[in-house]
Amino acid sequence: MMSCTDEPHLFWFSPRAHAAPANVQAYGAVALASPCELNNSEPAVVLLDCREADAAIELAKMRVETGPKPYLIPVVRQLTPESVVSLVAHGANDAVTERDIEHPEGIIRDAKGHAGLIDLALDARAGFAQMQAHANAMGSPVFMKDANGTYIGCNDRFENFLGFGREAIQGKTVYDVAPSELALTYHRADLDLVSSGGLQSYATGVRHASGKIRMVRFFKSAIRDGAGRIAGIVGAMHDIADVRGLRDTHAEFQSVAREINAELGGAHGTAPAIDPDAPLVERIAQRNAAALAQLYRIYHRRLTRFLNRMSWNEQLIEEVINDTFLVVWNKAAQFRYDCAASTWIMSIAYRCALSALRRERHTRLLVPLDDSYALMHYWHDYESSDLISKALNLLPDEQRLVMSLAYVLGHSMTEIADIIDRPPATVKAILHRARNSLRRAMSTLGH
């Protein structure tokens, strides 16, 4: 819990130098002459006066100058569903009208609470002490990072593999301990894992203490705290040259990851029974823009991966994502919670993508589009050296889609059926054929 001295500060910034309304000043709002005046080491809530300015432009400028930490609330003349989604896409944490801030108590209270959570998510180092004991007991090199990508622990075997003492690892990032081109690979993978959660496995090179690049397979898990939030990463490495130890490393890591998640997440190690995104959908149904902003940030990267090989056009992808959240904003009250919120959102994105690609197929579509499915890839730069990912790229489009949804994004058969609107039995049959195709593709590649 934050102390009083850690309570987020409230600021008012007006590009036109207008003073804060008296109702806002009554809550201690401090006028900012420039965003540079913000202390980025402290949590802050900024009411951004956009009543006479382009809110999207001002938000983008503010984010460039302040980074992700401040909780930004543009104040505009009026809000429409389209403008709410646009503001969220440009970095708003909430959006209010000038009439809303006539009685700002609830807005300011909620904003300070969320700003404090952002501060903890970006800076917290607590909650991982128990992981060190697990790491020390493992026979493979093991490391731990917080949600911001900073090493917070490792075992002796990890130190020995890299050739660094622990003091040269803890508190550092991959850019401090690895060549830049490899560090970028690890960083992308970490961002992907923190964004989507679950387990991750891929092969790449690591500079050994000998100075040579050794091929290793990473097994990594996102670690969640008691509230279900992703708090960091625990990972293990297996030297690919050691064929005999691969299966043991994988099994050992999965066991440790389950134990750590159980300790951080609560008794008995059971997954939360409540859909973590359902409360956000409920608040969106009540026209809460802050909830839409939270959901947008949770899903933006995941949806980008979902779409980025249907079209290489980044603008089209962003349009589809915004269309998706416009549907979420307009239809949240109609969501019946008969599936996970994530499944509902992915199915909306899928249908929005098909519609957009049909409209643009003559200029932007990169793959054939039939009446039901489009090609979807999820194989990233950090997996390019992985034989499995190369084999997956040889599969027929529909099989690759289902394999991606099942094994990369972790959806169940029922969820995949909901997303692509096919019966679960059909999905199961497609997945069965995909596994057989994958075996043949692996054989073709010489595995």
Q: Is residue 331 scored above 80 in pLDDT? A: yes
40-44, 122-126, 216-220: least confident range: 122-126
| Model pLDDT, residue 400 | 75
Q: What percent of the chain has pLDDT over 90?
A: 24
Please state the pTM of the whole predicted model: 0.56
| Model pLDDT, residue 442 | 66
Q: Is residue 180 scored above 90 in pLDDT? A: no
Backbone dihedral region of 177: left (phi > 0), alpha (psi from -120 to 50 degrees) or beta? alpha
| Model pLDDT, residue 270 | 38
pLDDT digits (tens, 9 = 90+) for 428-439: 898 888 888 877
| Model pLDDT, residue 67 | 79
Distance between CA atoms of 189 and 382, rounded to whole angstroms?
Answer: 6
353-367, 396-410, 418-432: least confident range: 353-367
119-128, 212-221, 251-260, 326-335: least confident range: 119-128
Provide the 3-class DSSP secondary structure of residue 221: strand
| Model pLDDT, residue 431 | 87
| Model pLDDT, residue 446 | 54
48-52, 53-57, 110-114: least confident range: 110-114
Average pLDDT rounded to a whole number, residues 20-45 = 88
Average pLDDT rounded to a whole number, residues 411-418 = 83
30-34, 198-202, 205-209: least confident range: 198-202
Q: Is residue 162 scored above 90 in pLDDT? A: yes
Q: Is residue 444 scored above 70 in pLDDT? A: no
Q: List own/partner pairs for 30-39 with CB under 8 A and 24 or more apart.
A: 35/61, 35/62, 35/65, 35/66, 36/65, 38/11, 38/66, 38/70
| Token pair belonging to 154 | 């490792």
Q: Is residue 369 scored above 50 in pLDDT? A: no
Instruction: Give the range with max mean pLDDT: 64-78, 108-122, 135-149, 320-334.
Output: 320-334
Average pLDDT of the chain, as a whole number: 77
More confident site: 111 or 438: 111
| Model pLDDT, residue 244 | 43
| Token pair belonging to 396 | 């027929």
Average pLDDT rounded to a whole number, residues 198-205 = 73
Distances (CA, A) of 168 to 159, 295, 355, 388, 416: 9, 37, 51, 34, 44
Q: Domains, the chain, ranges and CATH? A: 4-123 (3.40.50.2300), 129-269 (3.30.450.20), 278-444 (1.10.10.10)
Confidence of residue 288 (pLDDT cuts 50, 70, 90): very high
Q: Is residue 69 scored above 90 in pLDDT? A: no
More confident site: 151 or 42: 151
| Token pair belonging to 57 | 């432009």
